[in-house]
Amino acid sequence: MAVREIVTDSSLLPVLNSSAETREQCEKLLAVLDPLNESSDIVLAASREQKQLFAYLARLRGLNRDAIFRVRETKQSTAEARQEIDRLHLQLQNLYYEQRHLTGEIAACESYDHKYLSLPLIPVDEFLSLFPDHQDLDAHELMMTRINHEHAEREKLEQARQELLKRKQALIAENNKRKEDLANLDQDLERFIDHALVMISKNEDLASSQTPSTPANDTMSSKTGARRLPPPETPEAIQTRFKVIAAFWAVIIFLGFPIWWKTTSIYRARLPIQDMVEGADGKACRPVFPLEIRFETPSLPESEAYHLLRTTQHTLDDLNEFSAHHLRLKLSDDHTIASDQDILGQSQSATDRKADITLTVRLLPREDLSTPRSELHPDTTRLDVYYPPSQIPPPSASSPPLSAYIAGELQSLFTEEKAIFAQILSDNNPGGANTNGPSSANNPQQPSSILNSISPQLAENISRRLRRSMKYAETYHLAFSLFTPGSEPSSWDVKTAVEEYISPLLQAFAPISNFTVDTQVQLYATFAPTAPRPEYDEAQAAWTLKKDDLSAFINAAEWPLSPSIGSGPTINFILYVPAPSQSPMVVTENRATSWIIPQWGGVFLLNPPLSTGDHPSNPPHLSQEALRPAFLTFSHQLLTLLGAPATPASLPFRLQTLIRIRAATLLLSASSTMGSLARLTESLPSIPIPANVATSVATTLSHLASACEHLREGRFQAALADARVAEAEAERSFFEKSMVGQAYFPDEHKVAVYLPLLGPIGVPLIVGLLKELKKVVTGLKAKGPRP
């Protein structure tokens, strides 16, 4: 394509023309300077052409300078226009935020609980009957009129109250004045009595002077005049005082103390402490996991199938190192092949209901095989074992190769499950108590011994998976959130994606837990100010996040992530679409785009294809196909967060394992809670125990016993249902509000409450009683036998 077809700007066409003329002039100068040219005036011609070339070059430089200036002006105007657009966009966002704020304020104002609604106004009918001229007013004006009327009435009442207060103060002043007059009268009476006593004593002295007196009488008269003794108490006064003190003490002993005892006594319901402690110590229930495996042998006679299963059972018993977890083999026609542990521990008639079938093994002959081969179906719990017909064990064989192969395959299938159970039992029995036998430090079937026998990598994976998984709940809330730092994408086909990739998994989890799903889209979701920013890696040609910085990726302060919706825990799944300027975004160490946050949720970095153009942008909508890798990752993260084992590949098989794991976990957790409650009630004798706590404890122990029985009989779904009820009742009884409140109320607080109340009352009563007792003892001593 020619240059003139590409460049169409009128300001650039003179530059192109001048450039072409300059080029032609250069070609003329080169033609003149050609060595083959034999002209005599070559120097003069070259000088003339050179001057012409310099003129063209000068004009070309001027045009180039003008073009550069115009480019600068265009860039400046473009930048100004872009700033104006950014300013307008920012104003638009501010308007959106202001609109959202005003909408919230309007809603708050509409739902505001105004005080005038609770004013004790007279009814509307009564007000309108008093003021019929307000019949035509609307509701607002009528309410204002009623409030003004109420205000006027209250002002009148306030004036009346003030007048009554003034009258009351006047009466109080008059009463005080009269009290002072009465007090002065008492003083005048006392002075009058003193003068009267003086006059009486003088009269007695005059009477005694007129009669003859002895020295003894003179002495007694002088002592009486010198000291006036109080008049002696009459027997009636002494008896009255004694009766008053006795009445006070009778009221305290026979009325006050029983009422105080009744109102302050702490009700403590009777709890089966011994059963609770035994359950926590593992004495009442020792979890065992007998797994029933059903064998289908369509090509074998019953006698040969029976012999094959018996030898396989013996081989499994020899390989089993964990007595709490063992396999029980059965033929499809319910002929049981009992293990040694079943023979020692329980009889076949102990189970009235059928146990859950853990695995179905089908033995199928294949002529084209030389060695046995097995295949586990990914969508069922069926294991197909193909064997050559030549390996059918004869009746005399004690350990045929086919039995050893089947036993080895079954052991490998349940290796991770057995290690998980050993880890769970070891965590709940830190002292090393055996769960299915006598305690012994060197017992090879201890959970710790089983953990030591497995590979360190498997033990680390199990421990990490148990730390990551959520605590069991009857209902989980799944929250799928789309976050992006810009305005796009603003929509996504989340409903179809959930139905396609998540709903089948939730239906498979239906026997274990229930689920609710919630979604949201959050635009302009930026990182936290303190969070490390992504860095561009030229080697990977991507923006990278360090693995150590992933913990600060979630902006919990600004991103609307609800910690809980309803009663159950929330599992958050974050789909983050980075800005076009930071796309693609990966983790530095392994180029991963997803990770799990333990016991919280998962994150996926989606890097969609950007639009082509001067300003690349994210797509405005994410289709179901674009969401497919993210939601497949979310499904795997959900399995990990719910505690499902990683192996084998069959999902139904892993879910059955999860049922057994959850049943054992809830059983041990409820038993431990019962033990903690028993120790709490014994250590705090003053803590109340309501009747509902005793009921919850009884319900918990009953369901624990039922769950333990279901475990022993291999009914794991029924055991999970009972263990779920036991865990809920145990938590309800342990966190009873009245018990928790009294647990932090020591006896010193009771002394601080009762002492200021009973001290001023008790001290006078006790002192009065002691004085009366002292007088009684003195009187008894005075009435003693005289010599």
Categorise residue 324: left if φ over 0, alpha if ψ from -120 to 50, beta otherwise: alpha
| Cα-to-chain-centroid distance, residue 731 | 14
* Distance (Å, whole) CA 228 – CA 196: 14
- Which residues, 6+ apart, have CB-to-CB distance to 464 below 8 Å? none
Of 444 and 508, the one with more pLDDT: 508
Mean pLDDT of 346-361: 62
**Minimum mean pLDDT range among 100-114, 468-482, 561-575, 577-591:** 561-575
> Angle at which helices 42-110 and 13-32 pack, to 10 degrees?
160
Encoding tokens for residue 158?
A: 């306030």
The pTM score is 0.61
Q: Is the pLDDT of residue 767 over 70?
A: yes
Using CA atoms, how far residue 241 sits from 82, 238, 246, in Å, is: 102, 5, 9
Of 55 and 113, the one with more pLDDT: 55
* Distance (Å, whole) CA 373 – CA 409: 10
Q: Are 673 and 499 in contact (CB under 8 A)?
A: no
Mean pLDDT of 239-247: 83
Of 633 and 427, the one with more pLDDT: 633
Contacts by residues 658-663 (CB-CB < 8 Å, ≥ 24 positions apart): 658/512, 659/511, 659/512, 659/716, 659/717, 659/720, 660/289, 660/417, 660/421, 660/716, 661/417, 661/420, 661/421, 661/424, 662/472, 662/512, 662/720, 662/723, 663/707, 663/711, 663/716, 663/719, 663/720, 663/723
| Cα-to-chain-centroid distance, residue 600 | 10
Query: Which range among 191-195, 275-279, 339-343 has the greatest average pLDDT?
Result: 275-279
Mean pLDDT of 75-87: 91
Of 156 and 742, the one with more pLDDT: 156
> Which pLDDT value is given to residue 439?
43
> Which pLDDT value is given to residue 552?
85
Q: Is the pLDDT of residue 352 over 50?
A: no
Please write the tens of the pLDDT for every residue from 188-235.
888 888 777 777 777 766 666 555 544 444 544 444 444 565 677 777
Residue 160 banded pLDDT, cuts 50, 70, 90: very high
Q: Are 596 and 573 in contact (CB under 8 A)?
A: no
Please write the tens of the pLDDT for every residue from 394-432.
777 667 888 888 888 888 888 888 888 888 888 776 444
Query: Which range among 276-290, 383-397, 647-661 has the greatest average pLDDT?
Result: 647-661
Look-up of token digits 């600060």: 552
Measured on CA atoms in the order 147, 152, 157, 162, is the torsion positive or negative? positive
* DSSP letter assigned to residue 689: B
- 302: helix, strand or coil: helix
Cα Rg for the chain, rounded, in angstroms? 50
Q: Is the pLDDT of residue 184 over 60?
A: yes
Closest of 499, 537, 490 to residue 517, by C-alpha: 499
* DSSP letter assigned to residue 580: G
* Distance (Å, whole) CA 400 – CA 251: 93
Mean pLDDT of 503-524: 90
Using CA atoms, how far residue 5 sits from 316, 417, 529, 614, in Å, is: 85, 74, 51, 22
> Which pLDDT value is given to residue 1?
56
* Distance (Å, whole) CA 231 – CA 164: 49
Mean pLDDT of 174-178: 88
- 590: helix, strand or coil: coil
Strand order in the sheet with 357-365: 336-337, 325-331, 289-296, 357-365, 382-387, 373-376
> Which pLDDT value is given to residue 395?
72
Mean pLDDT of 328-354: 52
Q: Are 489 and 482 in contact (CB under 8 A)?
A: yes
Alpha helical stretches, state H, 283-399: 302-319, 340-345
Percent of the chain past pLDDT 90, that is, above it, reads 20
Percentages of the chain per state (helix, strand, coil), in multiples of 5: 60, 10, 30
* Distance (Å, whole) CA 292 – CA 361: 11
Residue 368 banded pLDDT, cuts 50, 70, 90: confident
Q: Is the pLDDT of residue 621 over 80?
A: yes
**How many residues are given for the chain?**
787
**Minimum mean pLDDT range among 238-247, 447-456, 499-508, 528-537:** 447-456
Question: What are the start-end ranges of the E strands in 14-71?
Answer: none
* Sequence spans of domains, the chain: 3-106, 122-210, 273-281+657-743, 289-436+443-462, 477-498+514-609+621-632, 746-780
Q: Are 620 and 488 in contact (CB under 8 A)?
A: yes
Exposure string for 424-461, b = 16+ CB within 10 A, e = fewer: bbbebbeeebbbbeeeeeebebbbbbbbeebeeebbeb
* Half-sphere CA count of 648, side-chain side, radius 13 A: 21
> Which pLDDT value is given to residue 722?
92
> Which pLDDT value is given to residue 448?
65
| CA angle 569–718–429, rounded 5-degree value | 70
The pLDDT mean for the chain works out to 82
Using CA atoms, how far residue 44 sits from 49, 53, 57, 62, 176, in Å, is: 9, 14, 20, 27, 140
Encoding tokens for residue 773?
A: 């007792």
Mean pLDDT of 141-147: 88
* Distance (Å, whole) CA 411 – CA 419: 12
Mean pLDDT of 676-682: 87
* Distance (Å, whole) CA 756 – CA 750: 11
Task: Please state, as a whole number, how many other Cβ atoms lie within 10 Å of the Cβ of residue 99.
Answer: 10
Mean pLDDT of 678-691: 83
| Maximum separation of any 2 CA atoms in the chain, in Å | 194
* Distance (Å, whole) CA 736 – CA 691: 11
> Which pLDDT value is given to residue 338?
41
Query: Which range among 32-36, 702-706, 764-768 has the greatest average pLDDT?
Result: 702-706
Mean pLDDT of 30-50: 75
Q: Are 312 and 330 in contact (CB under 8 A)?
A: no
- Which residues, 6+ apart, have CB-to-CB distance to 559 below 8 Å? 481, 483, 522, 525
Q: Is the pLDDT of residue 340 over 50?
A: no
> Which pLDDT value is given to residue 746?
64
Q: Is the pLDDT of residue 559 over 80?
A: yes
Encoding tokens for residue 51?
A: 């001057």
* Distance (Å, whole) CA 364 – CA 208: 145
> Which pLDDT value is given to residue 478?
92
Q: Is the pLDDT of residue 353 over 60?
A: no
**Minimum mean pLDDT range among 65-74, 422-431, 499-508:** 422-431
